[in-house]
Amino acid sequence: MNEHTLATTLPTVVIGAGPIGLAAASQLIERGIEPLVLEAGDAAGSAVREWSHVRLFSTWAEVVDPAAEKLLAPTGWVKPDGATYPTGGDWASRYLQPLAEVLGDTVRYGARVTGVSRTGRDRVVDADREQQPFTVHVQFADGREERLLARAVIDASGTWSTPSPLGGDGLPALGERSAADRVSYRVPDLKDPAVRARYAGKRTAVVGSGASAFTALAYIADLAKEVPGTHAVWILRRGISGSTFGGGSADQLPARGALGLAAKAAVDDGYADAVTGFRTAAVERDGDQIVLVGEDGRRLDPVDEVIGLTGFRPDLSFVNELRLGLDERLQAPVELAPLIDPNVHSCGTVYPHGVNELSHPETDVYLVGMKSYGRAPTFLAMTGYEQVRSIAAALAGDQDAAERVELTLPETGVCGGAGLFDEPQTEASDGGCCGAPATLQIGVGAPATSGGC
């Protein structure tokens, strides 16, 4: 198939109908390119719905994609007040769902992508590779399998379904799997009576030092005010320093700063004890309780429950036949990784971030959104919207627009502090500069900076 036929007859497949996948579809439509969105879940924003009880630290104004807004406007969609903060549930029901409805048949639900390759060419074969369309293997909820052809593939499948384990070495700790009934990897929804009963009056270990851990600590502290005996043990791989709790009032996203302050209050008010420098090696049972054992041999006092909030990692299994250029540490595109790497990120080194940083040796395939950040903890939806704007422009052949960066990200007000959601606990995040390089400030013509290290 020649390039023209590829471009004119086949859709661009977008994997995932989350915020970034739907934004990608909107941007493609604006560019006159036909998208086909394949979503594993049964609704738009399936992953976001799983944390529907969590309030975003971004305002509505920061989580609506401009191209999506243009599609929604003629439908009578009422844009939520831009200065207010949605919950995950609001984001899904008041924005993602109406957007998916406008996109109509462009979005197929119950459609899990299980593999992507070049048609008739595995990863090894060079011959005529770029002339072959992509083949996208799909497993539908009713058991059917289909092979779809695509001109390009935008993988916006997120990282939600692959949380990092408790183990300090990145692998499940000894006994972690068999303690699955006591270990959760989600911020608990304490308004749900069953979940509330699980943590009320109990001792819970919260492992992690990003915004999700802060949120969980704040929730448990609130519960402790109502139900005596409720207590959190906060487990960090690093020590506690001035930046542990994030940027506080210096954070340009005030609600993000407030999360850290709420976690600090939980500790200061005695609802949570912090255990520092602890890298989990084993999860052992002690009667009805759980004992966490550290790499250094420390055994913590028994707890009833464990919540692991140590970050996410991308599922690369279904894109394994593609020639991706991924950084060996973060599993993010090689050009993007240095900008967001918690190990080496140097404050102030930030480049414009669009199609150039997201390209791979395999042409016309892109990882975007949360997945593009690999294991880095600092993704913001507005970053993803800019990624897919740039990629749609590139696919449309508008290289100027693709390379023009139209994004300014808010600063955290801290370096070496908390990640935005769930921090992979690197050595650098144990105290190095920009342990949470949360802030890429990218402005057209503005000096590229990140949050004041």
Ligand X SMILES: Cc1cc2nc3c(=O)[nH]c(=O)nc-3n(C[C@H](O)[C@H](O)[C@H](O)COP(=O)(O)OP(=O)(O)OC[C@H]3O[C@@H](n4cnc5c(N)ncnc54)[C@H](O)[C@@H]3O)c2cc1C
Residues that bind ligand X (CB under 6 A): 15-21, 38-41, 46-48, 51, 54, 56-58, 63, 112-113, 156-158, 160, 212, 318, 369-370, 379-381, 384, 421
Q: Which of 271, 265, 258 lies closest to 230, judged by CA?
A: 271
Give how far Cα 234 sits from Cα of 214, 279, 383, Å: 9, 12, 30
Nearest CB to ligand X, comparing residues 99 and 102: 99
Shortest Å distance, C-beta 131 to ligand X: 26
Q: Which of 247, 310, 248, 246 lies closest to 278, judged by CA?
A: 310
Q: Which of 360, 340, 327, 350 lies closest to 437, judged by CA?
A: 340
Report the C-alpha gap between 339 and 74 in whole angstroms. 38
Judged by DSSP in three states, 152 sits in strand
> What amino acid occupies position 408?
T
Report the C-alpha gap between 306 and 136 in whole angstroms. 38
Nearest CB to ligand X, comparing residues 207 and 370: 370
Query: 391, 366 in Cβ contact below 8 A?
Result: yes
Shortest Å distance, C-beta 318 to ligand X: 6
Please state the φ and ψ torsions of residue 182, each to the nearest 5 degrees: -115, -5
How open is the CA angle 311-315-317, to the nearest 5 degrees? 155
- Total residue length of the chain: 453
Report the C-alpha gap between 278 and 436 in whole angstroms. 19
Shortest Å distance, C-beta 287 to ligand X: 33
Shortest Å distance, C-beta 313 to ligand X: 13
Shortest Å distance, C-beta 430 to ligand X: 23
Kindly provide the b/e burial profile for residues 300-328, where b requires at least 16 CB atoms within 10 angstroms of the residue's own CB. bebbbbbbbbbbbbbebebbebbebebbe
Shortest Å distance, C-beta 186 to ligand X: 9
DSSP 414-449: -SSS--SS-----TGGGTSTTSS----B--TTSPPB
Shortest Å distance, C-beta 379 to ligand X: 5
Shortest Å distance, C-beta 114 to ligand X: 7
Nearest CB to ligand X, comparing residues 49 and 203: 49
Q: Which residues pair with 138 in a beta bridge?
A: 113, 146
Nearest CB to ligand X, comparing residues 63 and 166: 63
Shortest Å distance, C-beta 325 to ligand X: 20
* Chain-centre distance for alpha carbon 423: 11
Nearest CB to ligand X, comparing residues 182 and 256: 256
Kindly provide the b/e burial profile for residues 13-38, where b requires at least 16 CB atoms within 10 angstroms of the residue's own CB. bbbbbbbbbbbbbbbbbbbebebbbb
Nearest CB to ligand X, comparing residues 204 and 292: 204
Query: 384, 397 in Cβ contact below 8 A?
Result: no
Shortest Å distance, C-beta 375 to ligand X: 14
Nearest CB to ligand X, comparing residues 293 and 411: 411
Query: 310, 292 in Cβ contact below 8 A?
Result: no
